[in-house]
């Protein structure tokens, strides 16, 4: 790490030692602030977010930093801006080149996600290298391999496959780029991705979406007739739901595809609320198998759906009943998953660490068959970024609600 970068990280680390609220305060800060502060306490150097070895340009730090930037916008607190900017300053070269393992030729949609926070940082700083990095990620999407109908492959190494995850990673970025840099075709392309994914992955009976679709039917996990994977994994649908409400931010009112996205969101919300756990208000790891042996209430899917329902209702994309479902879910998240240490650090428990589809056993990789048994046996951990980031975003939505529906800080 360059000396200048070390100095910046140290400065950020020192700044984080200042509490956000007085120790004798009557009421704690909002949950969004409390979790953002907890992230920074657990990982004072943002370059170490979700890093097992070297710092990584990856979707997980990008998800958390997008949420931290949203807290910065809400509070105006410079500490959050500095924390996010330290990551990007460490990852982006003067020419906009991206470090941390990024390679455009991998055509990996996951690696587009960290670019989302750059739109806000560029608008705030006018730093040329941020704009150049955004252009680099846009260049990847121009060349991203596609299905015959124009749907993005999730990664080059997963030929002919569209995954629900990829809709969150790439489409909101693409739509925002189109709005920010006057490229209407990018907005059109983003809309197309959702339409294609729903067309091929939606189950007509339940309205739920399968995790993946293989146009070629070559994968062992793909149904020979439909190309769909076998199960309804909660977080996969959570990614898709978050992506929809975020993409709608950048699709103009008069755009011919906006009505299609709104219709997809309404169908999705109805299906999601239909499988919301009646007792807890949250969601299961495999959505349509409540109480089945091995299944469990899972935090990342729950925070993602909560964010999408609350935001969708607040902006008028969904009616008020979905806002009520989101508020019930948020209360369930606090009850089921959130704990606060004696020192005031907020933990989010019971997050599925990772899940995917396929793999190459010849290279020593485990093959992920997408079955119920596969999903319920993946590792579970606390404070995984895939739950923490959406929890912050869902909390911001609760805090933006009218007074009776505001999140209650409490003293958990």
Residues with active-site annotation: 165
Residue 20 to residue 366: CA distance in whole angstroms: 44
| Nearest in space to 117 (alpha carbons), one of 78, 164, 83 | 83
Question: Up-side HSE of residue 172: CA atoms within 13 Å toward CB?
Answer: 26
Are 221 and 287 in contact by the 8 Å Cβ rule? The answer is no
**CB within 8 A of 149, min separation 6: which ones?**
196
CA neighbours closer than 13 Å in the CB half-sphere of residue 87: 34
Evaluate whether 401 touches 320 at the Cβ level (below 8 Å). Answer: no
DSSP string, 187-208: HHHHHHHHHHHHHHHB-TTT--
Cβ atoms of residues 28 and 34 within 8 Å:
yes
Which residues of 200-343 form beta strands (DSSP E)? 212-214, 338-340
Q: Name which of 47, 79, 78, 45 is nearest 60 in CA terms.
A: 47
| DSSP code at position 233 | B
Residue 407 Cα to chain centre, angstroms: 21
Distance in angstroms (rounded) separating the CA atoms of residues 169 and 243: 8
Q: How big, in percent rounded to 5, are the helix, strand and coil portions of the chain?
A: 55, 5, 40
Could you give the C-alpha distances from 264 to 47, 155, 260, 352, in angstroms and in order? 36, 24, 6, 26
- Coil/strand/helix, residue 266: helix
Q: What is the DSSP string of 115-175?
A: GHHHHHHHHHH--HHHHHHHHHHHHHHHH--B-TTSPBPS-TTSTTEEEHHHHHHHHHHHH
CA angle 44, 176, 159 (to 5 degrees): 85
């Amino acid at each position: 790490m360059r000396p200048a970068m070390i100095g910046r990280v140290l400065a950020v680390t020192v700044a984080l030692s200042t509490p956000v609220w007085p120790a004798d305060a009557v009421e704690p800060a909002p949950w969004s602030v409390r979790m953002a502060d907890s992230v920074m306490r657990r990982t004072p150097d943002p370059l170490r977010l979700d890093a097992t070895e070297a710092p990584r340009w990856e979707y997980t730090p990008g998800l958390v930093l997008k949420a931290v930037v949203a807290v910065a916008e809400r509070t105006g607190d410079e500490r959050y801006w500095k924390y996010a900017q330290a990551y990007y300053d460490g990852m982006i070269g003067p020419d906009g080149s991206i470090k941390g393992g990024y390679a455009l030729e991998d055509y990996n949609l996951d690696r587009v996600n960290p670019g989302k926070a750059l739109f806000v940082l560029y608008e705030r700083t006018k730093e040329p290298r941020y704009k150049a990095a955004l252009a680099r990620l846009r260049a990847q999407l121009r060349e991203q391999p596609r299905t015959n109908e124009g749907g993005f492959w999730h990664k080059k190494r997963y030929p002919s496959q569209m995954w629900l995850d990829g809709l969150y990673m790439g489409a909101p970025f693409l739509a925002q780029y189109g709005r920010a840099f006057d490229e209407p075709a990018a907005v059109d392309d983003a809309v197309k991705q959702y339409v294609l994914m729903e067309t091929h992955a939606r189950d007509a009976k339940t309205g739920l979406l399968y995790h993946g679709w293989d146009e070629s039917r070559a994968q062992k996990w793909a149904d020979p007739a439909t190309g769909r994977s076998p199960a309804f994994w909660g977080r996969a649908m959570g990614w898709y739901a978050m992506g929809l409400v975020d993409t709608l931010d950048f699709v103009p009112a008069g755009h011919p595809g906006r009505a299609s996205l709104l219709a997809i969101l309404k169908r999705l919300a109805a299906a999601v609320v239909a499988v919301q756990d009646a007792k807890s208000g949250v969601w299961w790891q495999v959505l349509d198998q409540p109480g089945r042996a091995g299944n469990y209430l899972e935090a990342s899917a729950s925070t993602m759906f909560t964010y999408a329902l609350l935001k969708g209702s607040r902006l008028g994309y969904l009616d008020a009943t979905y806002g009520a479902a989101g508020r019930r879910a948020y209360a369930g998240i606090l009850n089921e998953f959130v704990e606060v240490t004696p020192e005031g650090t907020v933990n989010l428990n019971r997050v599925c660490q990772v899940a995917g589809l396929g793999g190459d056993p010849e290279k020593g990789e485990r093959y992920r068959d997408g079955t119920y048994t596969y999903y319920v046996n993946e590792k579970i951990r606390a404070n995984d970024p895939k739950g923490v980031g959406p929890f912050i975003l869902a909390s911001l939505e609760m805090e933006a609600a009218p007074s009776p529906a505001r999140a209650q800080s409490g003293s958990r």
